[in-house]
Structures are given as structure tokens and as C-alpha cells.
């Protein structure tokens, strides 16, 4: 989405870099001035490249692209602040496929904590042939309570869980309305 910007001057104008014989040549100066207009946005991005990789500073479209790099499960409908938080949580890639990683991905996408139920388990025993933890049939269920859920929220949650779960794990999702508490 980077493009030309009207009035953006080049940080390294080509006209000043030409040999002295072209310094007073009007045609040569106008020709390279046109190239400066095309190259100025590229040079501007290169001059500010470190800011493009800082989630708080980068343009929104670049933050969306960065989210694919770091494994943030975003769909483009989340608010800008939540998108930037998902990109900043680059450690999600490390815990992807775990309950903690799935919980964090859902929290970043919806702003609410999910309830995750799974069939897995881990145990240690000094005695061989002990009971195997968990259940033999793999399953994963993600329940999410939102203040005002819509059918689109269920679809978004299903898409997110499908992408962030372990590949072998069958899953189900539910989105329900959160209970409202009233103070008296």
C-alpha cells in the first residue's frame, strides 16, 4: 500500500549527485526530479524501517501484514488497538497449538477470556504401566462469552480456533451472551 506522496521530498535528491556538466542542464535536472518523486516514498520507508517493525508505530496495513509473520490470528475486523496488541504478542508463535496459545489468540481477537476444555493430559509416575491421563478420544471445546454476540462472532471464533488449534484435534466452539450484573 505504499505509494507516491504528493510534496514528499527525497532525502537524497539525484540532481545534486549528477556530474558537474549536468548541474546547469534543465532537461537533466527535470528528468531526475521525476525520478526523485518516484523514489522518495521508497527512501522514506528505508529511512524509517525500524519504525515499521514496531507494532505501535507501523502503519495499519503493514501491521496486518506483520500479523501473518508472527502467527497472530487476525481477520481484519478487529480494532486497530487489538491488532497492534496481537502483533506485539509475537511470542504467540512459540505457544501456538497449546491451550495457553489458543486462549491468548482468542483473547486478543475478541477481548474476552475463553473457556477451553480439552481431552489431553500429562502425568509422571515412577511405576510403569500406570493409568494414562486424559481421555482416549481427542477433543477440544472453546466457549466464549461476549456482551452482545452476533452470528459473525461464532464464525470468527470457528475460523480462529481452526487455525490456532493442533492440526489433529477435532473441535467445537460456542459463543454465548455474557451474564450482565446490575448493581443496586
User: d(Cα 115, Cα 27) in Å, to the nearest integer?
Assistant: 69
In a domain, 111, yes or no: yes
Residues 42 and 104 in one domain: no
Same domain, 103 and 31: no
Tell me if 39 is assigned to some domain.
yes
- Within-domain flag for 179: yes
Quote the radius of gyration of the chain (alpha carbons, Å). Answer: 26
Strand partners of residue 115: 143
Q: What pTM was estimated for this model as a whole?
A: 0.57
Structural domain that includes position 43: 14-47
> 86 in a domain, yes or no?
no
Give CA angle at 112 (73, 90), nearest 5°.
Answer: 35
State the DSSP string of 62-114. HHHHHHHHTT----S-S-HHHHHHHHH-GGGGTTTTSHHHHHHHHHHHHSS--
pLDDT in tens, the chain (184 residues): 556 677 788 888 888 888 998 988 999 999 998 888 888 888 888 888 888 888 888 888 888 888 888 877 777 788 888 888 888 877 677 788 888 888 988 988 888 999 999 887 777 888 888 777 878 888 999 999 999 899 899 999 999 899 888 888 899 999 999 887 666 5
Neighbouring-strand partners of residue 176: 145
In a domain, 144, yes or no: yes
Structural domains in the chain (count) = 2
Q: What angle do CA 132, 135, 138 make, to 5 degrees?
A: 125
Q: Report the CATH number that the domain containing residue 102 is assigned in CATH.
A: 3.30.300
Q: Work out the angle at residue 177's Cα, subtended by the Cα atoms of residues 159 and 140, and round it to the nearest 5 degrees.
A: 40
- By DSSP bridging, strand 140-146 and strand 171-177 are parallel
Q: Contact 92/82 with Cβ under 8 angstroms?
A: no
77 located within any domain: no
**Residue at 56 is within a domain:** no
Residue 74 lies in a domain: no
- Comparing C-alpha atoms, which of 67, 149, 73 is closest to residue 108? 73
The reply to whether 102 and 184 lie within a common domain is yes
Amino acid at each position: 500500500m505504499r505509494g507516491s506522496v504528493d510534496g514528499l521530498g527525497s532525502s537524497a535528491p539525484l540532481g545534486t549527485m549528477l556530474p558537474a556538466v549536468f548541474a546547469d542542464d534543465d532537461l537533466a535536472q527535470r528528468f531526475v526530479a521525476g525520478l526523485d518523486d518516484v523514489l522518495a516514498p521508497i527512501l522514506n520507508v528505508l529511512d524509517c524501517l525500524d519504525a515499521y517493525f514496531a507494532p505501535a508505530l507501523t502503519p495499519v496495513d503493514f501491521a496486518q501484514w506483520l500479523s501473518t509473520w508472527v502467527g497472530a490470528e487476525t481477520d481484519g475486523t478487529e480494532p486497530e488497538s487489538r491488532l497492534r496488541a496481537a502483533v506485539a504478542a509475537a511470542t504467540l508463535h512459540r505457544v501456538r497449538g497449546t491451550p495457553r496459545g489458543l486462549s491468548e489468540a482468542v483473547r486478543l481477537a475478541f477481548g474476552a477470556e475463553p473457556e477451553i476444555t480439552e481431552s489431553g493430559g500429562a502425568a509422571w509416575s515412577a511405576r510403569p504401566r500406570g493409568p494414562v491421563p486424559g481421555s482416549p478420544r481427542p477433543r477440544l471445546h472453546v466457549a466464549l462469552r461476549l456482551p452482545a454476540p452476533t452470528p459473525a462472532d461464532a464464525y470468527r471464533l470457528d475460523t480462529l480456533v481452526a487455525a490456532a488449534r493442533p492440526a489433529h484435534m477435532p473441535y467445537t466452539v460456542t459463543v454465548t451472551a455474557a451474564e450482565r450484573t446490575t448493581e443496586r
